[in-house]
Structure formats: structure tokens, C-alpha cells
């Protein structure tokens, strides 16, 4: 019986943490322009949970929101500008009779943009690096570990489907989606780190 209550309490605590994190994220996203800093803070909290076994939410979220605000805001501005450019490019191309020949390369660019975005927030939260390095790393990792990128995309798509059919799940689903995304990305980071370490050792031997 004690084991049952212990497991129940543990499950309830995890659910409560996801719920609180989800609410904090929604509230801090309300100004819209704070979407990237808020999402970066959410990923940073999840990283802390996963790597250090922390169970805090509020103070960690505020801490990371402040720490990452400037960098994530600048990256968000870049992302919005690029998204707007892509959108108007699609609208512009639709006017041409032979638009299919222009749509293919534009769709390819849009896919690369989506793949890079999949790793973006996990990279911001995991590495202390410049904006240029974060964007470049997110893109290169998405290409180097393409099967994991597709897996991440499929999992996020499934979460969106769940959200569509069960809107009540929005109470925890955004923070849970971030957890799923970071979990997959972190495995990629570990693989990439081991690969780079092997390359360094090999270079030293040679």
C-alpha cells in the first residue's frame, strides 16, 4: 500500500510540474513577442529536470527566462523575418504559370528551416554558444542525424493530432511536447559528442 501511494504521489508531482510549466509558458507567451524567450526558458527547465533531477518549476523558469531573454529574442526575430519572407515568396510564386519549378526549391528551403527549428530550442538550452553557432549547429545536427530529425518531427506531429482531438490536453501538452523534443535532441547531442570525441582521439593518434 505504501508503494502504491509513493508511486501515486510521484506521478501526481510529475503531472503537477508539467501543468505548472505549461501555464507559465502560456502566460509568458501572451505578449507574443516573448514566445521565443518563453519557449527557451521552458526547454531550459526541462533540461534541468532531465540532466540534474531537479523538480523545481517557478524559480527555475524565471531564472532561465531572464538569462536567455536577449539571445532567444534575437533568434526569434531572425526566425520571424525568415518565416515572413518564405510566406510572401510562396504567395509571389503562385502568380506564375510554371510555379512548380520555383516551388520545389522553395519547399526544400522551407523543410530545411523546419528541420533546423526542431533542434533550435534544445540547442539554446543545452549549449552556451553564440547565436551564429546555435543556428549553424541546429542545422548541421538536423542533417547529420536525419532519421532522428524525422522521428522528432513525427512525434511532434502526433502530439498536435492529440491536441486537435483532445483540446483539454493543452493543459500539459505543450510542456510535454518540449520534453519529448528535448529527450530526442539530447540523445543526438550525446551521439554527436561521442563522435567528436572519437575524431579528436583519432587525430591525436595520427
User: Sign (positive/negative) of CA torsion 134, 39, 114, 70?
Assistant: negative
pLDDT value of position 101: 75
- Who's near 129: CB < 8 A, 6+ residues apart? 123, 137
More confident call, 152 vs 89: 152
The total number of structural domains that make up the chain: 1
pLDDT band at 90 (very low <50, low <70, confident <90, very high): confident
Q: pLDDT tens digits, residue range 174-184?
A: 999 999 999 99
Q: Which range of residues forms the domain containing residue 142? A: 2-205
CB 151 within 8 A of CB 185: no
Q: In terms of C-beta distances under 8 Å and separation of at least 24 residues, what long-range contacts does 23-31 make, across chains too?
A: 23/171, 24/57, 24/58, 24/61, 25/174, 25/175, 26/174, 28/65
Residue 72: phi, psi to the nearest 5? -70, -30
pLDDT value of position 200: 37
Q: pLDDT tens digits, residue range 43-85?
A: 999 999 988 877 789 999 999 999 999 999 999 999 999 999 9
Compute how many other C-beta atoms are within 10 angstroms of the C-beta atom of residue 50: 13
- Who's near 151: CB < 8 A, 6+ residues apart? 184
What are the cell numbers at 47? 533540461
Q: SS3 helix, strand, coil % of the chain, rounded to 5?
A: 90, 0, 10
* DSSP letter for each residue of 137-172: HHHHHHHHTHHHHHHHHHHHHHHHHHHHH-GGGGGT
Question: For the chain, what is the mean pLDDT?
Answer: 86
Q: What is the Cα–Cα distance from 196 to 194, expressed in whole angstroms?
A: 5
Q: pLDDT tens digits, residue range 5-23?
A: 456 676 788 889 999 999 9
Amino acid at each position: 500500500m505504501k508503494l502504491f501511494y509513493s508511486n501515486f504521489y510521484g506521478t501526481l508531482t510529475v503531472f503537477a510540474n508539467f501543468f505548472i510549466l505549461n501555464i507559465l509558458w502560456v502566460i509568458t507567451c501572451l505578449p507574443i513577442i516573448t514566445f521565443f524567450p518563453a519557449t527557451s526558458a521552458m526547454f531550459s527547465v526541462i533540461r534541468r529536470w532531465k540532466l540534474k533531477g531537479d523538480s523545481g518549476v517557478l524559480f527555475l523558469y524565471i531564472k532561465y527566462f531572464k538569462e536567455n531573454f536577449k539571445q532567444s529574442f534575437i533568434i526569434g526575430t531572425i526566425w520571424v523575418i525568415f518565416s515572413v519572407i518564405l510566406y510572401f515568396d510562396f504567395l509571389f510564386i503562385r502568380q506564375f504559370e510554371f510555379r512548380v519549378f520555383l516551388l520545389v526549391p522553395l519547399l526544400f528551403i522551407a523543410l530545411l528551416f523546419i528541420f533546423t527549428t526542431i533542434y533550435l530550442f534544445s540547442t539554446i538550452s543545452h549549449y552556451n554558444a553564440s547565436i551564429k553557432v546555435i543556428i549553424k549547429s541546429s542545422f548541421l545536427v538536423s542533417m547529420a542525424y536525419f532519421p532522428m530529425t524525422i522521428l522528432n518531427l513525427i512525434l511532434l506531429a502526433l502530439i498536435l493530432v492529440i491536441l486537435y482531438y483532445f483540446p483539454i490536453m493543452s493543459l500539459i501538452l505543450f510542456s510535454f511536447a518540449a520534453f519529448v523534443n528535448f529527450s530526442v535532441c539530447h540523445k543526438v547531442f550525446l551521439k554527436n559528442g561521442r563522435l567528436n570525441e572519437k575524431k579528436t582521439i583519432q587525430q591525436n593518434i595520427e
